[in-house]
Amino acid sequence: MGVWYAFEGEECVQEVPRTGRRKFACVTGSWSLLGTWLVRVLLDNGYNVRFTIRTTVDEAAALMALPGAKQRLDLAQADIMDYGSLMEVFTGCDGVFHTSSPSDLVSTYPPEMVDFEVRGTLNIVEACANSSVKRLVLTSSLSAMVWDQQRHPEKVIDEKCWSNVDFCRSMKLWGPLAKTMSEKAAWSLARDRGLDMVVINPAIVLGLKMFGTTQCIFTYLKGVKELPQSGLFAYVHVEDVAKAHVSALEATDASGRYICFEDVVSEEKLVDLIRKLYPGSSIPSRFSKNGIAHVISNEKLKSLGVAFPAQQKIH
């Protein structure tokens, strides 16, 4: 890890809050789409930032070109399976963001990665608990909440909901299984260690990646043949997810889990999109029926000052 100068440069000195030293945050994990947006939002908010997500030379150059990056951004290296390297990069940090890769509805998630994600998340929690970190903001997923065959369709999906791990295994939903198991394990260890942890559970994350790749809703329609009963096409823009994470770090009364979504796409609209984008393909049987209404709430997130519609239905 390179040498870190917290207050190097005239620009940096001028931005130091009058009430004390500048806050120091570390962004780790493997999700560069959210990770890079977090760097941008944190720099805009005056933070010193340490970024440990692996990048190419061009990606690193793009990050260092951000306003304030030369003075306040440190590109470091860490392995989430190496506890020692995590302790090193967390030294001096007030907050940590762990942005593990997302698990959406159609991604192929290798089953052997479930255990890896659980163990890596536990390493993050343990290292935070034994360092200067005051709060860990963990990125989980809406998929850790919605997959439950026994849930009544009219029941509101909120922060009290958990996906059923047996159902996930039976349907081979390895991504949602990994998110559910890793988040539950993180909560158990964080409580045992007395670590202040807040979890953001975003829906499908869309938006322009800093390095030129666009992630859009159309990507998720390719190859979708069948969705289990609890499928939800809720989505949110990556910039709003990043801002929600920073709010979760800064709000003194933030606690527990926060569903993060902007809007939902009805099954009727999905059918129209599939017909428009892939006119030669047949409509998946899941979308050919009248969908059962599900209600999802992000009322809790609004308490952090993040403005989204309170409730949306998906059919």
Q: What residues are annotated to the active site?
A: 179
168-192 exposure pattern, b = at least 16 Cβ within 10 A, e = fewer: beebebbbbbbbbbbbbbbbebbee
Contact between 290 and 268 under an 8 Å Cβ cutoff? The reply is no
**Exposed/middle/buried for 114, CB within 10 Å: 0-12, 13-18, 19+?**
buried
Nearest Cα residue to 1 out of 96, 128, 87:
87
Tell me the two tokens of residue 296.
């999802």
Q: What is the chain written as a DSSP string?
A: -----TT-SHHHHHHS-TTSSPPEEEEEES-HHHHHHHHHHHHHTT-EEEE-S---HHHHHHHHTSTTHHHHEEE----TT-HHHHHHHHTT-SEEEEEPPP--SS----TTHHHHHHHHHHHHHHHHHTSS-SEEEEE--THHHH--TTS-TTSEE-TT----HHHHHHTT-HHHHHHHHHHHHHHHHHHHHT--EEEEEE-EEEEE-TTS-EE-GGGGGTT-----TT---EEEEHHHHHHHHHHHHH-TT--EEEEE-SEE--HHHHHHHHHHH-TTSPPPGGGSSPPPPEEEE-HHHHTTT----SEEEE-
